[in-house]
Structure 1
Amino acid sequence: VSRHLLDSLSVMPFIENGRWLDVGSGGGMPGIPLAILFPESQVTCLDSNGKKTRFLTQVKLELKQDNLQVIHSRVEEFRPEQAFNG
């Protein structure tokens, strides 16, 4: 877990607050750590696996991360209403 967390945080020097999309979010890396560390950002975790998106939704609720959105969809079918910064 710590290796994945460190990998997730390695992008921190290169990003600022904004709208971020984590495609194939799986267990939530890097989406969840980035949502916690950048509370002014909007982070969207996208995954096609319903079991994973249910887990991510539970994490969002337990951590009270209002800046985190979880989408159950294939990336090819995802049509965001607004553009993402990355």
Structure 2
Amino acid sequence: VGCMYCLAACPYQVRFINPVTRVADKCDFCRKTNLAAGKEPACVESCPTKALVFGNLDDPDSPIAQRLVKETTYRYKQALGTSPKMYRVPKGEITS
């Protein structure tokens, strides 16, 4: 609706006003562009240190699922009950 209250209320501070549609938006991991073309999200493709990994958490053979088995991870603000799907590796904990 354009009131921007969702920007202030977002616990992750990731909402932004889309300059084209002029409504609140958030990252969709390039669902309509890169993912639709069988590629990874732009952030993953362009990360110079390869610190970002993207994939299917439901596929135990996917690179991301394999990585989650090996790494110590946490999910940011999980106690809020928002079921976050982004996993983070604590600084200094990366093993692969």
- For Structure 1 versus Structure 2, the TM-score category normalised by the shorter chain is under 0.3
**Which protein, 1 or 2, shows the higher relative CO under an 8 Å CA cutoff with sep ≥ 6?**
1
TM-score between the two structures when normalised by the length of structure 1: 0.27
Which one has the largest radius of gyration? 2
TM-score between the two structures when normalised by the length of structure 2: 0.26
